[in-house]
Amino acid sequence: MSTENDHIKWFRNSSPYINAHRAKTFVIYLGGEAIEHANYSNLINDIALLNSLGVKLVIVHGADPQITQSLTEQHVQWPMSGNTPVTTPEILAKILAPIGTTRTRIEASLSKGHASIHTQMLVTGGNFVTAKPMGIMDGTDFHHTGTTRRVNKAAIVSQLEHQAIVVVSPIGHSPSGETFVLDARQLAHNVARTLEAEKLIYFSSDDGIRDHDGVLINEITEVNDLSFQDPEHQNLAKLSIAACLSGVKRCHVINYKSDGALLEELFTRDGSGTQIIQESYEKLRTARPDDVAGIIELISPLEHEGILVKRSRELIESELDHFRIIERDGMIVACAALYPFQSQGELACLATHPEYRNDNRGELLLQSIESSARDLGLKSLFVLTTQAVHWFIERGFEELPIDTLPEDRFYNFQRNSKYLKKAL
């Protein structure tokens, strides 16, 4: 029974994330190693689940182990110059097959029926990536090893609009009709920044990015002077940071070996791997029309508990200008409203999502409401509360008799709220 309750709790707690992620674009890097791993089918199930929740998905796949295996079977090696492969015309002819086979495997696994999904998913691809040759560097001709020249944003977006999952292979063609092999991690970065994706998710063989002592880093926010011991971590951190600087909201590095890591990262507060963000992703701002659903999501559990007064959707819509919210990664985690009554202001509907409490958000909203009230020339701020009396007293409010409430402010005697006031 307790496990059952855990699931119910988990599901309830994840609902704000479900709403926040809906219709957002996520670019997922899926390396060839992940496709070979025993956890791959779980991973695909979770990707299918994201699709069914309305997330727009682009999968950029790699195929390194598949290419290596195919070349080994043909007694050929992919020559390297430093860390970069040199793709001669002979090698290109041999590696297009394993890349194609890997892509087909992804398409097949996404086309399979999934326990969580009843409708068949549409998987699509195309010549979305224009490539150019890497050229000759330090005397080495890289032949068909290329770099991204352009990603066709409009074409990908139009596929995503039709709920298709777009699969991008690590190859691109030049306007002259030549084919180039691309670095899949870099390609995922390029696709994400072109699409200005909400998220770029790298599946890695480790739980995330580790510091010099091997400790997993949960969140990277400082973008300067980062260095990591592991070259793969260094590369993923570099690509992620650059993506964030180019407009991708957030990047994640998570473990493809760990069952459920993707869902844990996306639907829980603490996540499972490392997330990389450019700057504080929380914003305190005035509410906008598209915030109504998020505000309702935040306050309705408190209304059901009787902590806040019930407000209809229509009322919130009509009084939206009064609301101030804190947005975190597309989700509204706290809100408050200010209503002027002659020379006084009422602070109402102050709420912080239970998972985001005790981090000063209530205090920040109070300060913001106080400052707006002062700007409006109001002399004091009052609040009617049943549960947070001490919270307000600790912030300079004083309890007053109900009969001193502004005359035009209706008082519901059944709620028996306390009336507290603070001079501004």
Ligand X SMILES: CC(C)(COP(=O)(O)OP(=O)(O)OC[C@H]1O[C@@H](n2cnc3c(N)ncnc32)[C@H](O)[C@@H]1OP(=O)(O)O)[C@@H](O)C(=O)NCCC(=O)NCCS
Tell me the C-alpha distance between 400 and 417, whole Å.
11
316 touches ligand X by CB under 6 A: no
Indicate the residue whose CB is closest to ligand X. Answer: 362
* Residue choice 73, 161, 363, 398 for contact with ligand X (CB under 6 A): 363
* Beta strands in 123-177, from DSSP E residues, in sequence order: 123-124, 129-133, 136-137, 140-141, 146-151, 165-168, 171-173
**Amino acid at position 25, single letter:** T
Q: Is 417 in the site for ligand X (CB under 6 A)?
A: no
Q: Which one of 41, 360, 371, 416 is in contact with ligand X (CB under 6 A)?
A: 360
Name the minimum Å distance from CB 320 to ligand X. Answer: 17
For residue 5, the tally of other CB atoms under 10 A from its CB is 9
CB of 303 to ligand X, least distance (A): 10
Q: Is 49 in the site for ligand X (CB under 6 A)?
A: no
Q: By three-state DSSP, how is residue 62 classified?
A: coil
Give CA–CA dist 217/208, Å, rounded: 7
Whichever of 94 and 409 has its CB closer to ligand X, that residue is 409
**Site map (CB under 6 A) of ligand X, residues 372-401, x = contact:** -----------x-x-xx-xx----------
CB of 367 to ligand X, least distance (A): 10
CB of 422 to ligand X, least distance (A): 13
Cβ 328 to ligand X shortest distance, Å: 12
Does 361 bind ligand X (CB under 6 A)? Our answer is: yes
Coil, helix or strand for 106? helix
Rg (CA), the chain: 26
With contacts defined by CB under 6 A, name the span among 41-49, 87-95, 268-276, 354-362 that binds ligand X: 354-362
DSSP secondary-structure letter at 279?
S
Residue 416 binds to ligand X (criterion: CB under 6 A): no
Q: Is 350 in the site for ligand X (CB under 6 A)?
A: yes
- 359 lines the binding site for ligand X (CB under 6 A): yes
Q: What six digits make up the tokens of 383?
A: 């609040």
| Contact indicator for 208, 254 with CB cutoff of 8 Å | yes
Tell me, by CB under 6 A, how many residues bind ligand X. 21
Is 362 a binder of ligand X (CB under 6 A)?
yes
Separation in Å, CA 188 to CA 27, 100, 235, 259, 359:
7, 17, 13, 22, 34
Sole binder of ligand X in the list 71, 284, 296, 307 (CB under 6 A): 307
Looking at beta carbons only, is 119 or 360 nearer to ligand X? 360
Report if residue 312 touches ligand X, rule: CB under 6 A: no
What is the spatial distance between Cα 61 and Cα 50, in angstroms, rounded to a whole number? 17
Write down the residue that tokens 């973008």 correspond to: 223
Give the type of residue at 90: E
Is residue 240 close enough to count as binding ligand X by CB under 6 A? no
In whole angstroms, the minimum distance from the beta carbon of 386 to ligand X comes to: 7
How far apart CA 79 and CA 81 sit, in angstroms, is 7
Kind plus residue range of the DSSP H or E element containing 414: none
* Contacting residue, 312, 358, 412, 414, with ligand X by CB under 6 A: 358
Residue 149 CA, chain-centre distance (Å), reads 26
* Candidate segments 5-13, 126-134, 224-232, 300-308, binder of ligand X by CB under 6 A: 300-308
Q: Site residues (CB under 6 A) for ligand X?
A: 302, 307-308, 334, 348, 350-352, 357-363, 383, 385, 387-388, 390-391
